Structure 1
Amino acid sequence: MATEVSTTIEFNASHFPSIIMREDLLETWNDISLASLEEAEKAPLILFLEGLGAFDDPSFDQDKILLVKASRGIPESIYTPGIFKDGDKIIVKVGVNTFAVTQTGDKFTIGTLIGKMNVTEAKDRDGNPYPKASMTFISQEHDDSFSIPVNLASKELGFTRNQLDIALLKNKPIVNFLLEAPASAMKMQELEIGEYQIKGVSSSKGKYGALHTIHLLDGRKVLSAGNATTQLNSLLFNPNWEEETYTLVVDTADDGSLNCAIRKRLPMLSSIPTNSLRVTKSNGATATVSEPITVKATSVDYDNETASKEEPLDF
């Protein structure tokens, strides 16, 4: 009698090779739908989502299953499923979707999936050790298993692999060892052309580099892109969000591409040309049309309350 060979599926960037050849990555941040993936990429992901109970959840968004960061149409990073915390709960984040994970002792369950946490150790560029972790989930309905990365807050909290191992051996909750899930943020291209006063910026560093979320004074959160990201990554840029005033300027270039930058001043109503409007055509391409537009500027009395520091990492 033949024995079926089980497979461990890892949803890392190499699992989605079709992304590198896509021609629709027109923005810095691009949502990827389940339907647009190749069959070999889609089938294991569907198995995982079925185990999570995703298709029984009316709020599940199949059009935002992955997030891809791109530059000039070329993907730089793919944010895939990952384990985070949401307050005092453990969750798995899949694109914009989140699903609660239950811990019982050293076992973790979500939907029909049962998992255990695996802890290893790696070294940073300076040779300093730090813990790494993943959760391996299995289903009672098939022999395949799924390995999902765990986003640890070891850099922020300073704990070691040994401390995490001890917590698992003692069946202690591991939620406090996790990074908070990235807050929902809109993409830069979803903002209207205009100027927006900034309340603060939250940043994190993962294997794909720095990820910045700009908190606007009107309460919205925006994923950084373009020149704004270049500024935030620069060692020469040291803004004092509490005591100084900064503005996010969103404009378009002659070719219709997005221009955005951070300026040290209040928003100006007259700073954006009125003959440049960025539009998206039915085929997904962008273009600039010449017609009057209404310039939007967001500016209210500035206070010294800054956004709380969040640490979004790999999706």
Structure 2
Amino acid sequence: MTAGLSPLERVGEGERGVLAATLDRVGHLATTQVRHGLPADTSGSSEEWISCADLLGDPGMFDRWRKRLADWLSERHDAEIPERTTSGYIMSWYLQVPGFLGGLLFHASRRVPSLRPADIAFRLSGDRPHPNAVALLSDDFCCLPDDPESHRPEATTVADERALAAMFRARFTAHAAKFVTAFGPGTRFGKRMLWAAATDALDSSGWLAGRACGDEGAGVADSALFLPTAEAPLTSASTLRAVTGDDGNALWTRRRESCCFHFALPEQRACTTCPRITEDERSARVLERGR
């Protein structure tokens, strides 16, 4: 899966810029690490760094990734794994790579990085084959006029927060469009499902970034900026909502637009955010989990 990783060879631990400093500060806070550049030495590691550009340019790599995931799941469930489940997992995992990268930098610094496939790489875990780290390979960013680094040659200013959120949405959507084109023909998913998954990744990006940085409510507000309305090809406005228990404490949840088909695994049920469950069941599960 690591054949032809030429974009990874050009960016390492060299000169570190504005975005690198932000990621040094917050990139380790979430389960998926986000960093600037690649480690100087990955030799001897069972974990693989993959260029998004290489992966989208060779859709056969998705087939090999699905096979590896199917083998991993089969060992744990002692069953044949449905193709829709491996495709659903990988669809969601991949789209979270540019989504969480952009959401984290927007939340932590009000900056939007380049989200071109050539400017992003991710690392697959040596065990469960999911992205456990993301690397930004570019210093370019968009920011607000009062950003103290707006004078830099790699900076592009936009008018206000709504314009900055629109820039993130546009850059993410451009990346997602390349994913839909590359990944779609190898699955039974239609374009509506693929764009629903992209909507989920964008909506979750602010929420997860806020949670990682210790201000979940602010992250939810960011997601509302990213998806104020259903703007095609994305399929909905933000679906994040608060669930309040008897004690008055509010917990956040959302209804997914797409499905990862986790429920198709043996003895598994639909996820809490799954569109297949009712809002009443979703609320009950969120409150039970929050106790």
Query: What TM-score do you get using the length of structure 1 for normalisation?
Result: 0.26
Q: Which structure has the larger Rg? A: 1
| TM-score, normalised via structure 2 length | 0.27
**Higher relative contact order structure (alpha carbons within 8 Å, sequence separation ≥ 6):** 2
